[in-house]
Amino acid sequence: MVLGATLFSGCLFDRADRDGSGEGGETGNVTDGDYVPVKPVSPAGWPSIVWPKENPYTPAKDVLGRRLFFEPALSRTQNRACSWCHGALEAFADVHGDSMSFGVGSGTTTRNTPTLANLAFARTFFFDGRASTLEAQAFGPLYAANEMDMTGPEIVARLSADTTYIRLFAQAYGSGPITMERVTRALATYERTLISFRSPYDLWRAGDSAALSPSAKRGEALFRSAKAGCAECHVPPLFTDGGFHNIGLDSVPVDPGLGGITGRPEDMGRFKTPTLRNLTATKFYMHDARFRSLQRVLEHYNAGGFPQPPGAPSIRPLGLTSGEQDDLISFLEALTDTAFLQTAEYHFPNR
Ligand code: HEC
Ligand code: HEC
């Protein structure tokens, strides 16, 4: 496992990529404490990472975005950074071990805090898909009263009074004022570096047959089988199809999900298919964190959930034995990428 992880990180991250092709202020030699920014490249056999034309990768934006991600001053009460809810050791999902997350003034979020792993490959953001870029998404938590409760001018004023940020923004963007566009572009750049691809499953796929237990191997085959049907929506290697589905959690959806955005009756109760990577680190499952174990998730799928018009064909009683459910869980557990969770560079920056 350790050997495999070293091998993988060596060949898949291009440490030499500092070509300065991005925006102004590129120094070609940017670091922040122990953080040496590295432009991620797609693991072999994966789709390409989408770097938007207007916001290409640069090491200086990566460094700045990481610091902003862990910056409590971006919240009104100066104690709620993005990382307050999205913890690195939890695969950037809910930190608190409670069903919902607490924002400013302990206002709770109405949904579970999702992982931020592999969003460089995503086309829509939030459980209901209401943001179409990471840049646009970042405004959501910054301005939401129950999350960070700030306004653009307040954020700009705070950052513009901090000598570290004056330096880091100049390094990332050259001259000109600190703006919310620059804040959100840096955050998005950092988020796109959060790539999880070194689980035992990935090592097994790369040829290490001992990386999966016999039970996990049986679970992998079942996962892809017509009997269980999981891979129809949770498509490897990202374990999402990027689509929205109603998996029959409620007879009448409590949270409208996609339907709350489109207003279409057929979208009620549809949510974005989440990745299944790092589930053992995220602990709470579904948009409302209703399940607290993978056993409970499997019981739901096996029972088939509430029938929904127009029901997803795979959401029906599956008839899995308890041994088969255990095998599926072994497989899901093998999607946890310890190297990702422990990547020191992703953690709190040294001041
Ligand atoms: C108070 C807790 C909290 C804070 C603080 C917070 N988030 Fe979130 N985040 C959430 C919740 C809850 C959701 C899901 C909301 C939804 O889908 O409606 C979410 C969703 C997201 C998503 C979408 C993920 C996906 O798969 O679509 C991204 C990206 C994200 N947050 C980034 C950030 C960034 C960047 C910050 C800081 C600027 C931040 N979050 C601050 C709780 C939080
Ligand atoms: C029709 C598409 C579809 C199929 C088939 C499907 N899923 Fe899901 N899965 C989803 C969606 C959508 C969600 C998110 C629902 C929500 O948040 O309320 C989800 C959520 C999950 C979660 C919770 C993830 C998290 O981080 O909260 C797990 C675990 C999971 N599915 C495993 C499976 C397994 C195992 C199977 C096969 C038995 C399966 N899924 C079949 C679409 C599907």
For ligand 2, the distance from its centroid to the CA atom of residue 274, given in whole angstroms, is: 7
pLDDT score of 314? 83
pLDDT score of 102? 67
- Sole residue written with tokens 């034309």: 53
Looking at residue 308, the DSSP 8-state letter turns out to be -
CB neighbourhood size of 221 (10 A):
12
3-state secondary structure of 297: helix
3-state helix, strand, coil in the chain (%, to 5): 40, 5, 55
148 pocket-lining for ligand 1 (C-beta < 6 Å): yes
For ligand 1, the distance from its centroid to the CA atom of residue 113, given in whole angstroms, is: 6
Atom of ligand 2 nearest to the CA of 284: 27
For the chain, domain boundaries? 16-195, 200-333
pLDDT score of 24? 35
pLDDT score of 289? 92
3-state secondary structure of 329: helix
300 pocket-lining for ligand 2 (C-beta < 6 Å): no
pLDDT score of 281? 94
Q: Is the pTM of this model over 0.85?
A: yes
pLDDT score of 39? 92
Q: Is the Cα dihedral 220, 222, 223, 225 positive or negative?
A: positive
Atom of ligand 2 nearest to the CA of 328: 35
Phi, psi of 272 (to 5 degrees): -65, 135
DSSP letters spanning 221-286: HHHHSTTT-GGGTS-TTTT--S-EE-----SS-SS-BHHHHH--GGGTTBEEPPP-TTHHHH--BS
Ligand that comes closest to the CA of residue 227:
2
Q: Options 1.10.3720.10, 3.30.420.590, 1.10.760.10, 1.10.340.30; which CATH number does 200-333 get?
A: 1.10.760.10
150 pocket-lining for ligand 2 (C-beta < 6 Å): no
Report d(CA 179, CA 177) in Å as an integer.
6
Amino acid at the residue 16 = A
Same CATH fold assignment for domains 16-195 and 200-333:
yes
Phi, psi of 296 (to 5 degrees): -65, -40
pLDDT score of 26? 40
pLDDT score of 38? 86
84 pocket-lining for ligand 1 (C-beta < 6 Å): yes
Instruction: Compute, in degrees rounded to 10, the torsion defined by CA atoms 87, 91, 94, 98.
Output: -110
pLDDT score of 31? 76
pLDDT score of 277? 98
Nearest CA to ligand 2 atom 2: 233
Burial of 252 (0-12, 13-18, 19+ CB in 10 A): exposed
Report d(CA 7, CA 319) in Å as an integer.
40
CATH class for the domain made up of 16-195: mainly alpha
pLDDT score of 308? 75
pLDDT score of 207? 96
240 pocket-lining for ligand 1 (C-beta < 6 Å): no
For ligand 1, the distance from its centroid to the CA atom of residue 19, given in whole angstroms, is: 31
Report d(CA 349, CA 63) in Å as an integer.
9
**Structure tokens given for 185:** 């572009």
pLDDT along the chain (351 residues), means of 10: 34 33 46 82 92 96 95 93 91 78 71 95 96 95 90 96 96 96 98 96 97 98 97 97 95 94 94 98 92 96 85 87 98 96 75 40
CA distance between the termini of the chain: 32
Q: Which residue, 151, 137, 239, is CA-closest to 196?
A: 239
Ligand that comes closest to the CA of residue 127:
1
279 pocket-lining for ligand 2 (C-beta < 6 Å): yes
Ligand that comes closest to the CA of residue 113:
1
For ligand 1, the distance from its centroid to the CA atom of residue 112, given in whole angstroms, is: 9
Report d(CA 180, CA 186) in Å as an integer.
10
